[in-house]
Structure 1
Amino acid sequence: MPARDIYHNNVKNALIKDKWTITHDPLTLKFGKKDLYVDLGARQLLAAQKAEYKIAVEIKSFSGRSDVDDLEKALGQYILYQDILIELEPERMLYLAVPNRVFDDLFEEPIGKLLLKNHRLKLITFDPKQEVIKQWIIPN
């Protein structure tokens, strides 16, 4: 089992405040002989649509030596998890959860805007101190 991100509990609490039910902590993806672990699995009942919405959330603090280096690693992990989820649980949407600071420093810059423009990932931004979700960013 991999180590948890420093913001793991902050994001978990933020999702619960946002009316999500945590279903997996972590969400295990068994693929071939390998086990991979997405930080959280969650679901939310959408009463108006009488449907259940399922997500997987990979949490990244971007606390390494370089935001770009952390982004490269996060993207690789995100793509791998996304491809496996499409095979195993195609109804579950994958999100990358990042602190507001990271969004402002990286995703408001051309490199981050390019990733969002090219539909590379879905983001959740959160405030680690208040333990609240700030934005759900789903590229069109």
Structure 2
Amino acid sequence: MPAKDIYHETVKNALIKDGWTITHDPLRIRLARGKNLFVDLGAERLLAAERGLEKIAIEVKSFTRPSDMKDLEEALGQFVLYDRLLKRYYPEHILYLSVNEDTRKRVFEEEAGQTLIEDGTIRLVTFDVLKEEIVRWIH
């Protein structure tokens, strides 16, 4: 299994505080020929009796390299790949990229990151590192 991001446990705790039940840690996508990909977390929560369960998958990224654009390029490629494969193997799950609030401000309020959000290419869930709480969902 791949190494966990430095904020993995922080995001996991924040999701639990937000009412989510962690169902997968990690969520394995089994591909043909014995290959596997791992999305960091799978979670669900009861919304309303008539709607049933909302299911999500979370890919956690810390953006710690010297170049935010390199981190963004890598995160985007991984997000798009996982999103397409989840639609095939786990169509009930909606994928989110999870970053801390500082990263959202630094990367996703700039043109490149903002374009990805505005165009619906990427969905974000942000968190407060110290409080271990979800701050916002951006669809």
TM-score range, shorter chain: over 0.9
Q: CA RMSD in A?
A: 0.9
Q: Does 1:82 align with 2:91?
A: no
Which residue does 1:18 correspond to in 2? 18
Which residue does 1:52 correspond to in 2? 53
Which residue does 2:29 correspond to in 1? 29
Which residue does 2:62 correspond to in 1? 61
Separation (CA, whole Å) in 2 of partners of 1:14 and 1:57: 12
Question: Shift of residue 120 of structure 1?
Answer: 0.6
In structure 1, stretches of 5+ residues that fail to align are: none
DSSP 3-state at the match of 1:6: coil
Where do 4+ consecutive residues of structure 1 move more than 4 Å? Answer: none
Deviation readout 1:3-55 (Å, 9 max, x if unpaired): 00000000000000000000000000001121000000000011253410000
Which residue does 2:9 correspond to in 1? 9
Deviation larger for 24-33 or 40-49: 40-49
Separation (CA, whole Å) in 2 of partners of 1:95 and 1:77: 11
Question: Shift of residue 106 of structure 1?
Answer: 0.9
Equivalent pairs, count: 138
Separation (CA, whole Å) in 2 of partners of 1:101 and 1:18: 20
Separation (CA, whole Å) in 1 of partners of 2:31 and 2:84: 11
DSSP 3-state at the match of 1:69: helix
In structure 2, stretches of 5+ residues that fail to align are: none
Calculate percent identity across the aligned residue pairs.
52
DSSP 3-state at the match of 2:12: helix
Separation (CA, whole Å) in 1 of partners of 2:39 and 2:78: 9
TM-score, normalising length: structure 2: 0.96
Separation (CA, whole Å) in 2 of partners of 1:48 and 1:101: 36
Which residue does 1:116 correspond to in 2? 117
